[in-house]
Amino acid sequence: MWRFYGDDVAGARRLVDAALAAGITLLDTADIYGEHHGFGASETLLGRVLREAPELRDRMVLATKGGIRPGVPYDSRAAWLGQALDDSLRRLGVDHVDLYQIHRPDLLTHPEEAARALDDARQAGKIRAIGVSNHSAAQVQALARFLPVPIVSQQPELSPLYVAPMFDGVLDQAMERNMAVLAWSPIGGGRLMKPESDRDRAVAALLDAAAETAGVDRAAAAYAWLMAHPARPIPILGTQDAARIARANEAYRVRWNRADWYRVLEASLGTKMP
């Protein structure tokens, strides 16, 4: 829901309906999303949808994020996280979210303080589970040290064009801790659909070969490539096109064999695996 904002409530409802109809139940937003249209714009629009159709709430896993503060830029102090969460709940028009994530690590807040704020909110019933976004494996470990409950999710940038989490310990830690991996920008910020470099085109060509075999589009092949990893990444779609949302579950029609999967990785890295 990074680009989910504005005043077209009917159009926003169509996007939510398209996702739920396709079996997509995780709706992931953040207080910073839509900032250029006003801080909290994405949450506000989703809140308007839920006020018009409150029955949708029970059909979704509602996730949001806090900890980015315009002009600061990061703040995970207890006072700010508490205020940010309350503001998110107000904009969404709900009394709790299923998953609350620290959006980016705040280097000036001790993880014990952030953990205390998150667990206070959990015990108050405002959040059901705790996650992080854009955290290193070490930062996750430090935060987890002070929490009485597990961190259930990690949200890294991850795509066939950005594979760093496969090598920097983020996906390994997710598997070790049984954390869900929510992959943002799974088609490389759109670059897989409009390749800009020889590397982009090489990766796209390999995805196209798999897509053609399965009778799907390149995006579905990219989602399937991510989902083939044993950490079981969940691609976070950024599209605002209901038709593309409806086709996203075609990813399940793609079957990557080991050799072809590694060819995509090698094209992304620009080198053969050692």
Rounded CA-CA distance 103/106 in Å is 9
List Cα–Cα distances, 219 to 182, 189, 244, in angstroms.
Answer: 16, 11, 9
Q: Residue 194 class from Cβ within 10 Å (0-12 exposed, 13-18 middle, 19+ buried)?
A: exposed
Give, for all 274 residues of the chain, the pLDDT tens digit. 999 999 999 999 999 999 999 999 999 999 999 999 999 999 999 999 999 999 999 999 999 999 999 999 999 999 999 999 999 999 999 999 999 999 999 999 999 999 999 999 999 999 999 999 999 999 999 999 999 999 999 999 999 999 999 999 999 999 999 999 999 999 999 999 999 999 999 999 999 999 999 999 999 999 999 999 999 999 999 999 999 999 999 999 999 999 999 999 999 999 999 9
The total of other beta-carbon atoms located within 10 Å of residue 199's CB is 15
In the chain, what are the domain boundaries? 1-155, 181-274
Distance of CA 69 to the CA centre of its chain: 19
Catalytic residue among 33, 100, 162, 223: 33
Pairwise CA distance, residues 218 & 175, whole Å: 27
Answer yes or no: 33 catalytic. Answer: yes
Model-wide pTM > 0.85:
yes
Helix and strand totals (H; E) in the chain: 10, 7
Cite the beta strand spans of 8-119 per DSSP E: 26-28, 61-66, 97-102
Neighbours of 144 (CB within 10 A): 18
What is the identity of the amino acid at 195?
P
Q: Looking at domain 1-155, which of 3.40.50.620, 3.40.50.1260, 3.20.20.100, 3.30.499.10 is its CATH number?
A: 3.20.20.100
